[in-house]
């Protein structure tokens, strides 16, 4: 399976659903070349006059100053995790952390606003909130928006202004399918497409956590597994959906733009370009099997493709790791893109220490879409707390 968020477990009240494996791999990366190891080299092809002015949300190079993540843990009952704010340049935590838990998160307006989904009390329902992210990386007060959603939110995506929101939501009872919804915030209207399998529930399309929206809010893209009539997997897919499509099942209204067998490299995550005419896909392949004395090699390949037919137009990066020592639930290759469409942020590796008490370390690649140069950012997740072990993240940039 695939998605932007990883390591997610969903256990609705009374009912516990099966874990969905995302990406099926922990992708790694070799050391970047010296020219790509400094952030400023990523924009060396652009003249000074073409660079956007620095703002509270963006650097002079056009990258958000901060990114937010949700830490996914094996012991989470609902899939919610703590929200962390980090410096994009280093991955270090900002001094003042929000102390907020969330089911899903995304960013809009050049990273100056965060959209956050939380469980509504103890009910099998979710609420959406928005909050500013200041020039110092401080998360503002949560302000509730949109209607209450039946079920627990899995993923979020938004247009450039945060006026149109896409979300996938899990059902509340065993065997009950989830749905994908588009919410027009100002009008408070919700359009749903059903029969979505989230975490082992019923549904004709089994999706992960990855959901991407074009800047104008007219198109959504996502990855997952198609299901045959008998309930078996029919192969991996990349789908697109017009947000103005008529209501119905997601299989009826979405369009397949890429098909791959289940046995091939995992279609881990997809990100739409701002105009929606192209998308960026990360596929992850694994060589070897982790045992007590052996490790595996994993490779993530990020390609640019046409939305019309899924044809590859270029390869942006090939990120390879050897010596991967723990696959866990599958870290995958979650991605996020800057609003100006110039950079991708791709966490690609989750490295565990010799024991669960050692905090796992995440490595991410910051990739220039135009030059294909990249640099790495590395940061630690919280250590183990009892039976709870950090096994993934969801990123908003």
Q: Are 172 and 124 in contact (CB under 8 A)?
A: yes
pLDDT at 226 over 60: yes
Would you place residue 297 in the very low, low, confident or very high pLDDT band (cuts 50, 70, 90)? confident
Would you place residue 348 in the very low, low, confident or very high pLDDT band (cuts 50, 70, 90)? confident
Would you place residue 174 in the very low, low, confident or very high pLDDT band (cuts 50, 70, 90)? confident
DSSP code string of 91-121: -PBPSS----EESEEEEETTTTEEEEEEE-T
CB atoms within 10 A of CB 367: 25
CA quadruple 322, 326, 330, 335: dihedral sign:
negative
The pLDDT tens digits of the residues spanning 15-30 come to 332 333 333 333 333 3
pLDDT at 251 over 90: yes
> Among all chains, which residue has been given the structure tokens 């009826």?
252
- Between CA 115 and CA 142 the distance in angstroms is 9
Nearest to 163 by CA among 123, 213, 126: 213
The pLDDT tens digits of the residues spanning 211-225 come to 999 999 999 999 999
Find all residues with CB under 8 Å of 396, minimum gap 6, and list them.
Answer: 67, 68, 69, 105, 106, 107, 114, 115, 336
Q: Does domain 34-396 have CATH number 3.40.50.10490?
A: no
């Amino acid at each position: 399976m695939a998605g932007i968020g990883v390591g997610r477990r969903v256990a609705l009240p009374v009912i516990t659903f099966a874990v969905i494996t995302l990406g099926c791999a922990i992708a790694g990366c070799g050391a970047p070349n010296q020219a790509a190891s400094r952030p400023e080299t990523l924009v060396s092809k652009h003249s000074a006059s073409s660079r956007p002015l620095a703002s509270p949300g963006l650097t002079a190079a056009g990258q958000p100053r901060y990114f937010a993540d949700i830490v996914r843990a094996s012991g989470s009952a609902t899939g919610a995790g703590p929200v962390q704010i980090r410096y994009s340049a280093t991955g270090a935590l900002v001094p003042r952390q929000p102390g907020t838990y969330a089911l899903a998160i995304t960013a809009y307006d050049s990273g100056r606003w965060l959209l956050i989904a939380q469980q509504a009390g103890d009910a099998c329902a979710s609420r959406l909130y928005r909050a500013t992210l200041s020039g110092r990386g401080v998360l503002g007060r949560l302000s509730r928006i949109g209607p209450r959603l039946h079920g627990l939110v899995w993923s979020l995506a938004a247009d450039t202004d945060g006026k149109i929101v896409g979300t996938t939501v899990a059902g509340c009872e065993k065997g009950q399918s989830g749905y994908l919804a588009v919410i027009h915030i100002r009008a408070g209207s919700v359009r749903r497409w059903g029969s979505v399998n989230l975490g082992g529930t019923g549904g004709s399309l089994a999706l992960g956590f990855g959901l991407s929206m074009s800047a104008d809010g007219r198109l959504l893209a996502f990855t997952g597994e198609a299901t045959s009539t008998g309930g078996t997997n029919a192969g991996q897919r990349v789908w697109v959906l017009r947000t103005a499509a008529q209501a119905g099942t997601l299989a009826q209204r979405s369009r397949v733009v890429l098909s791959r067998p289940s046995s091939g490299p995992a279609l881990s995550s997809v990100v739409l370009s701002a105009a929606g005419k192209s998308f960026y896909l990360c596929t992850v392949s694994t060589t070897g099997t982790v045992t007590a004395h052996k490790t595996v090699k994993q490779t993530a390949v990020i390609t640019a493709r046409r939305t019309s037919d899924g044809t590859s137009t270029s390869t942006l990066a090939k990120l390879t790791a050897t010596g991967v020592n723990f696959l866990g639930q599958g870290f995958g290759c979650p991605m996020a893109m800057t609003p100006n469409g110039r950079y991708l942020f791709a966490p690609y590796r989750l490295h565990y220490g010799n024991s669960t008490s050692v905090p796992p370390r995440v490595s991410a690649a910051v990739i220039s879409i135009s030059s294909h140069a990249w640099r790495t950012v590395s940061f630690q997740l919280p250590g183990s707390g009892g039976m709870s072990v950090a096994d993934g993240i969801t990123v908003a940039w």
